[in-house]
A and B are shown apart, each in its own frame.
Chain A
C-alpha cells in the first residue's frame, strides 16, 4: 500500500507481457471463449487480423495496480470508468499506470481520485480512465496530504 497518499503521487505501475498462452488461460478462467481471443485462424480473417487479449484481462492489471496502492479499500470501496482505445495482441507488453489527481474529504471519508492509463511497448495508449477509492479519513496520510 502507499505509505502516504498525496495529490500528484504516481502509483507503482504494473507491467505484464501478453502471450497467447495467457489469453487462453484467461479464456478458461473467465469462461469467455470468443474466437477473436483464442482462435488464431478465425481471428486472422477478421478486421483485427489476429487474436487480441480480453479487455477484462487488461483491466485486471489496472485493478492489481489499484489493489497494490490502496489495499482492501480498492475491492471494498473502489470504482472506475475506463475506455478501451486499442486492442492488445500477443507479444505486447502492457504497463498500467495511475496518478492521484484529487483528494476530497467529506463526512469522515477521503475520496481519492486517480487518472488511469495503460500503454503498450510502443507507448500507444490502450486504456484511459478514472478511478475513485473511498478511504477512512486519515488512512494513508490523506488527512495532511493536500
Chain B
C-alpha cells in the first residue's frame, strides 16, 4: 500500500529492505551510467536502490522534485554483497504552497557495519 504525504509523520520509519548487489545489477547500473567499474559496487548504485526502495512506498504526486541530496560513504562494498536499508522521515514541512520532506537513510552490510548514509530533500506540489 502506498503512503501519502499526509500519512507520514515525523520519525516515520519506512519498512526496512535488503537487497543483493549482484554482478548483473552492478553491470546494468554501470551500463546505464555509461561508466566502467573498479571491482567494487559504485556507491551511488547502492544509494539508487535504497532511494527507490524508500520512495517506492510513497505516493508522490506529479511535480515532485528531488531538491537536494547528501551522502556519506563509509566503506567499499564488494560485488555480491547483501545490504540492508533503514529510512525515516526526519523533517516534514508545509508552508504556503510548498510541502517538503527530508528523508534519512542508513545502509548496512551483513556484518551490520554502516556502508553509507544519506539525506534526501523532496519538495512536493501542494
- B62's nearest neighbour on chain A, judged by CB, is A46
- Taking a contact as CB atoms closer than 8 A, the residue among B48, B56, B74 that contacts A29 in the complex is B48
Total interface residues on A, CB under 8 Å, equals 39
* A81 CA to B25 CA, complexed, in Å: 26
B91 close to A (CB within 8 Å): no
Hey, which chain B residues are within 8 Å of A79, CB to CB?
70-73
* Complex Cα gap A25–B28 (Å): 8
Q: What DSSP secondary structure best describes chain B's contact surface?
A: mixed
Q: Which chain A residues numbered 8 to 47 have a C-beta less than 8 Å away from chain B?
A: 16, 22, 25-26, 28-32, 34-36, 42, 46-47
CB pair B44–A32 under 8 Å, yes or no, is no
Q: Is the CB of A25 within 8 A of B32?
A: yes
**Residues of chain A lying within 8 A (CB to CB) of residue B35:** 60, 64
A136 within 8 A of B: no
Contact between A56 and B49, CB atoms less than 8 A apart: no
Q: In whole angstroms, what is the CA distance A55 to B48 when docked?
A: 10
Q: Within 8 Å CB of A22, what residues of B?
A: 32, 34
Least distance between A110 CB and chain B CB atoms (Å): 17
Q: Are the C-beta atoms of B69 and A82 separated by less than 8 Å?
A: yes
Q: Mask for A91-128, Cβ within 8 A of B = 1, else 0?
A: 00000000000000000000000000000000000000
Which B residue sits closest to A30, measured CB to CB? B48
* Chain A proximity mask over B59-77: 1 for CB below 8 Å, otherwise 0: 0101111111111111111
Which parts of B1-59 form the interface with A (CB within 8 Å)? 25, 28-29, 31-35, 38, 40, 42-45, 47-49, 51-53, 55-56
Q: List 10 A-B contacts (CB under 8 A).
A: A22-B32, A22-B34, A29-B32, A30-B51, A32-B55, A46-B62, A56-B66, A61-B33, A76-B75, A83-B67
